[in-house]
A and B are shown apart, each in its own frame.
Chain A
Amino acid sequence: MALEIEIDGKKLTVPDGSTIMDAAHQVGTYIPHFCYHKKLSIAANCRMCLVEVEKAPKPLPACATPVTDGMKVFTHSDLAVKAQKGVMEFLLINHPLDCPICDQGGECQLQDLAVGYGGGDSRYQEEKRSVPEKNMGPLVSAEEMARCIHCTRCVRFTEEIGGFQEIGMAHRGEFSEILPFLGKTVDSEISGNVIDLCPVGALTSKPFRYSARTWELSRRKSVSPHDGLGSNMVLQVKHNRVYRALPLENESINECWLADRDRFSYEALNSDLRLTKPMVKQDGRWIETDWAAALDYVSHGLKDIIARDGADRVAFLASPHSTTEELFALKKLARALGVKNTDYRTRRADFRADALQNGALWLGGDVVELAAAKSVLVIGSTLRKEQPLIAARLRQSVKKGTQLNLLALADDDLRTDTHAKLVVAPAALVNALAQVVAAAAELKQESCQLSLDAVSISDEARRIAASLSEAETGAIVLGNLAQHHPAFSELLLLAQELSRLTGARFGLFGEAANSVGAEVFFRPDQGGLNAAQMLAQPQAAYVLLNTEPDFDAHNPQLAKATLGQAKMVAALTAFRSPELLACADVLLPIAPFTETAGSFINMEGRLQSFNGVVKPLGETRPAWKVLRVLGNLAQANGFDFSSVEEIRAEFAKQLNADRVTGLDNTLKTDAAAVSTAVAAEGLQRLGEVPIYQADALCRRATSLQQTADARAPILGLHPDTLREQQLQAGQTVTVRQGEAEVSLTVGEDATLPSGVARVPTAHPLTASLGAMFGRIDIVRGK
């Protein structure tokens, strides 16, 4: 039913259940508010939004008053203005009046509304209360809690969006205080949003605090370079330096949020680990050189090696965090040189699906569609740590009735209800998915098109199959762990079959900002080697674009050994790293995403372009320019582009408006057989990539590295496994994979299936170990 309402004389109709605030938004009338936020529940505790309503005996809070038919609202009447002034006077009773020294000054809602709606002075002469500071962790500062106006936005955010109430309001009345639980910090992977939500200077950004004033900063649009969601951001810049990252609202992508790594990874941009000059290794020693010499070195090196060993012994590896234009230009260079070996999938182990793929793998739809699906099955994903904002979005979907089903490798707390889940050891993942497929086939009374061995179907598998089959809209998504799994192709085939049987669509979470761009533009050419082959079979020369072999490889031990045998390794990188210094022969300093224009294609296939926001640091240059020079030095045609737009124009035919074409998750399945046998000996490693080790930027972001999520990896074992192995939590043991051994602290982790050893990869402590999955041994007698 539609209701008629009149706001300040403007008539409109709104749907039943709307509040006066909703209606006011619809006609563009601003009603001052603090506690109201469109993404949070209604608290109605600040009273700033009082308005006059005809026939109501007193002013009513617009955020919490439902519209009734024929209601007449006055937002500027004498009564409303008097109420707003009164509320403001109360709010300021205990609030410090020292805006000039407050970090929030200039972007403070309380400051703005006090100017717009407050009186000129206060009748309050008594003492103001003081509130001790709180420790919320390395990202959010709660240093000035006397500024808090108890709107509880931060509290509601952690509970409703973050899924776990990490902040609370203790005591009552005049003694109320906002705090985390005693001795705890705020550890959510999306905690930084409370800084934006806090309408005053109580919660501020710890890394940014007191480093600049908001009006000194220029605001430039950009796109997050981390996960495949492609969150929109605003980067704030002063003196050619990025000072802060804030969300740019995009309802269909990141809504109004940012994950902490999107928000705080900028710290790495200004770190002294940046490579600012080209460097060449001579007789085992690194010397700084100029661009001409370095490029000449690379160009000649490649030319000589190609002449002597052949172009098929040259490998180009790029990180999917590189821009589309960089990947396109590098591919073009590869083709000009006759190099077929190009790949970005350095963390993948299984490439058998390559032969079956009909196109580039992607999410299979939009994120909004995923969130709207009535049933979702997530396979092999840590979800919260891989896709923090999608996890938050699905949490909201679950509240609206979506059934979230999981095939997981650990029973991590996703801070949401799940409908059904199977938590299995890595070696049993294919079997678990096969159970769901078999259950769906039974349910639909159809035969399975894959030749599957018999599986015994568990009840949970049946529940998952039923959930997907019965839902009007369903989605099946393979996460990073599934993509890194040694049986990824089986998982894909099974997902496709499950999708066929249940009508749910299937796809992949994009691990990196440009996974889909790299999938479209940087897979090996026909007959070329894939990333695993390039990193297992020594090639004569390697060109690495933003790739750090010790952290980005499925098997870093093997990758390092293989690269060590090359005649030449040329690395285009924004950072110096011990491993690159060890394995490379030449380092070319290239611009990170803030110092060059470019684009990322997110997991939906949406191309989002951005401009550089600051000048390249030192002698750093955008990679596309470096590649242009390398193309010219090789006397190749078509390397005269003078902007990223020109490069983009070269692949314009692969774009349909802002969407890239050629995306197709279907596989050729003729005679595809899937073995569901669960074979594993000894302890199996579960080697996920920790959230803040995923890419070069967050690895070097100092504040992120101090969070709970960045704690040094431990050896996680189920209590039963601990007992079997006769180990105690807290003890230090040596684990071995292949040749390498590392010492790790043992931790009890009841979320794991037994027989699994959770040892994260991509971390300095574990980078000498082998594959992310597979056998791992605990060495005794040491």
Chain B
Amino acid sequence: MLSQESIEKIDRELAKYPADQRRSAVMGALRIAQTEKGWLATETIEFVANYIGISPVAAYEVATFYNMYDLSPVGKHKITVCTNLPCALSGGYDAAEYLKQKLGIDFGETTSDGKFTLCEGECMGACGDAPVLLVNNHTMCSFMSREAIDKKLAELK
């Protein structure tokens, strides 16, 4: 189901917690699984749950609670724009609008070539850098003016 590499990473997560608290590793394990698979299918969640020894629905609770877990396929690049208040006051909505226009999709949609998915995100703890967006859950991009967005999208091609 998951590659040897991912399994090793999950084992490393598990090693961080006492043996009787394996469930603590669920967030890390789901992240690792999602990085490999691109998104979390039901079978992937079940596999992760069984691997760390918790019930599948307990892993599903976690996977549905947090926004950064994708429960349906996303494009090659998932771009999440922060629209919470501080960002909204400093151009967050503009950035989002511009992205929508450029990519021709709304929040929660994927471009027809499967390259980009656009998501609305919550505060990323970088309000001072507004507007901010996050690429593929891992790369923070700050001060995303139109030019910066153009540049980023070109990079991501």
Instruction: Mark A163-175 against chain B: 1 for CB-CB distance below 8 A, else 0.
Output: 0111111111000
> Closest approach, in angstroms, between the C-beta of A628 and any C-beta of chain B?
54
Q: Are B60 and A182 in contact (CB under 8 A)?
A: yes
Are the CB atoms of A165 and B65 closer together than 8 Å? no
B135 to chain A, nearest CB (A): 24
Q: Is A180 an interface residue (CB 8 A)?
A: yes
Knowing A181-B46, A182-B60 are in contact, say whether A171-B65 is a contact too (CB < 8 A). yes
Q: Which of B88-105 contact A (CB under 8 A)?
A: none
A184 interface contact, C-beta 8 A: yes
**How close is A249's CB to chain B, nearest CB, in angstroms?**
28
B60 neighbours in A (Cβ, 8 Å): 168, 170, 181-182
Known A181-B46, A182-B42, A183-B42; judge A165-B55 contact (CB<8 A).
Answer: yes
Asked if B55 and A181 make an inter-chain contact with CB atoms under 8 angstroms apart, the answer reads yes
Contact of B57 among A167, A171, A172 (CB under 8 A): A167
Bound complex: CA A169 to CA B55 (Å): 13
CB of B57 within 8 A of CB of A165, answer yes
Report chain B residues within 8 Å CB of A170: 57, 60-61, 64-65
| Distance in Å: Cβ of B108 to nearest Cβ of chain A | 14
Interface size classification for chain A:
10 to 19
CB-CB under 8 A for A164 and B55, given A181-B46, A182-B42: yes
Interface string of B52-63 (1 = CB under 8 A from A): 001111101100
Residues A179 and B57 in contact, CB atoms below 8 Å apart: yes
Which A residue sits closest to B42, measured CB to CB? A182
Chain B count of residues within 8 A CB distance of the other chain:
11
Q: Evaluate contact between A169 and B42: CB separation under 8 angstroms.
A: no
Contact residues in B for A164 (Cβ distance below 8 Å): 55
**Residue B56 contacts which of A169, A171, A172, A184 (CB distance < 8 angstroms)?**
A184
Query: B58, A165: Cβ atoms under 8 Å?
Result: yes
A284 to B46, CA, bound (A): 57
Task: Find residues 130-170 in chain A having any chain B CB closer than 8 Å to their own CB.
Answer: 159, 164-170
Q: Find chain A residues with CB under 8 A from B46 CB.
A: 181
Tell me the complex Cα distance, A628–B93, Å.
88
| 8 Å CB contact of B58 from A168, A183, A184 | A168
**A168 lies within 8 A of B42 (CB):** no
Contacts of A182 in B (CB 8 A): 42, 60
User: How near does chain B come to A191, taking the closest CB pair, in angstroms?
Assistant: 14
User: A181-B46, A182-B42, A183-B42 in contact; A172/B65 too (CB < 8 A)?
Assistant: yes
A57 to B65, CA, bound (A): 31
Which residues of chain A have C-beta atoms less than 8 A from B65's C-beta? 170-172
B56 adjacent to A181 (CB under 8 Å): yes
Nearest residue (CB) in A for B56 is A181
Question: Bound state CA distance, A179 and B56, in angstroms?
Answer: 12
10 additional A-B residue pairs with CB within 8 Å, beyond A166-B55, A167-B57: A168-B61, A169-B61, A170-B64, A170-B65, A171-B64, A181-B55, A181-B57, A181-B60, A184-B56, A184-B57
B: residues with CB less than 8 A from A are: 42, 46, 54-58, 60-61, 64-65
Instruction: Pull 26 A–B residue pairs with CB atoms less than 8 Å apart, ordered by A.
Output: A159-B58, A164-B55, A165-B54, A165-B57, A165-B58, A166-B55, A166-B57, A168-B60, A168-B61, A169-B61, A170-B57, A170-B60, A170-B64, A171-B64, A172-B64, A172-B65, A179-B57, A180-B57, A181-B46, A181-B56, A181-B57, A181-B60, A182-B42, A182-B60, A183-B42, A184-B56
